[in-house]
Amino acid sequence: MNARRARRVVLLGGSAALIACGNSGKGSPVGVIPADTPSCGSTKAVLNTIPLASSAISGWVPLGNLNPPAHTFPTDHQYIYLAGFGTNAAVAEIPLLSPGNVTITSVKVTHYLTSAPYDDYAVGFLACKEVWGEFGHVRTLSAALKAQIGAIDQSCNTYSPDPSLTVQQCYSKPLAVKLAGGDAMGTAAGLDLSLFDNRITPITFVSPT
């Protein structure tokens, strides 16, 4: 599990406990922290908006899920499934909203180079200086957000997670795009959710080695 440590943060003032996994607690995985980012202080209500319509959510997979070959080791993020997942019916894309007054610091695009190519995005954001997160498998970005992000063409790499699939991932430049709770981010037909809180003391493992 290298330097990753489990952490907990409460979303929406206690309406849902989101357990997430962080790094060593000395930096953010979502890009450079802008200098004007305020501290979280002691509040736990760092986000104020449900990012997906709750009526459309059909399942929520907690941390530690195994899904090889892409996730051979337990995941450090959660999965949110929408209505229609696991059936023959197509899962409709629904609006993805900003979960609060956040600063987007990085965006990654993944190009799936199959016989029917498609893209999806991962959007890294700060709720405040010590709490940061990422939405993964975002289907589309809103036009307004895309315009502020610019080209996503940095540090590209190509690999094959299994013999039938080749993917290319590219990153944006460091960003400082501010959104208010409820602002449009794009669309999703399911979502990966990572959330990190550097104010929480890391848990103790049986053997740190």
| Of 189, 187, 113, 124, residue with least CA distance to 156 | 113
Q: What is the DSSP letter of 190?
A: S
More confident residue, 21 or 182: 182
Q: Is the pLDDT of residue 91 over 80?
A: no
CA 116 to chain CA centroid, Å, is 25
- Give the model's confidence band at 31: pLDDT under 50 very low, under 70 low, under 90 confident, else very high: low
Question: With left for phi above 0 and alpha for psi between -120 and 50, is residue 182 left, alpha or beta?
Answer: left
Q: Is the pLDDT of residue 23 over 50?
A: no
Q: What's the mean pLDDT in 45-57?
A: 92
CA 70 to chain CA centroid, Å, is 16
Q: Is the pLDDT of residue 153 over 90?
A: yes
**Per-residue pLDDT, 30:** 56
DSSP reduced 3-state for 196: strand
**Per-residue pLDDT, 193:** 92
- Give the model's confidence band at 64: pLDDT under 50 very low, under 70 low, under 90 confident, else very high: confident
Q: What's the mean pLDDT in 122-147?
A: 95
Q: 0.75 exceeded by the pTM?
A: yes
Mean pLDDT of all residues belonging to the chain:
82
Tokens 């309406």 -> residue: 15
Domain chopping of the chain, boundaries: 5-197
Q: What is the C-alpha separation between 55 and 138, in angstroms, rounded?
A: 19
Q: What's the mean pLDDT in 30-48?
A: 87
Sign of the C-alpha dihedral, residues 71, 33, 23, 154? positive
**Per-residue pLDDT, 26:** 36
**Per-residue pLDDT, 88:** 61
Tokens 């991962």 -> residue: 122
Helix H or strand E segment including 149: helix 143-149
Q: What is the C-alpha separation between 63 and 209, in angstroms, rounded?
A: 21
Which residues, listed in sequence order, are joined to residue 9 by a DSSP beta bridge? 18
Read off the pLDDT of residues 158-204 as tens digits, 9 standing for 90 and up: 999 878 889 999 999 999 999 999 999 999 988 999 999 999 987 77
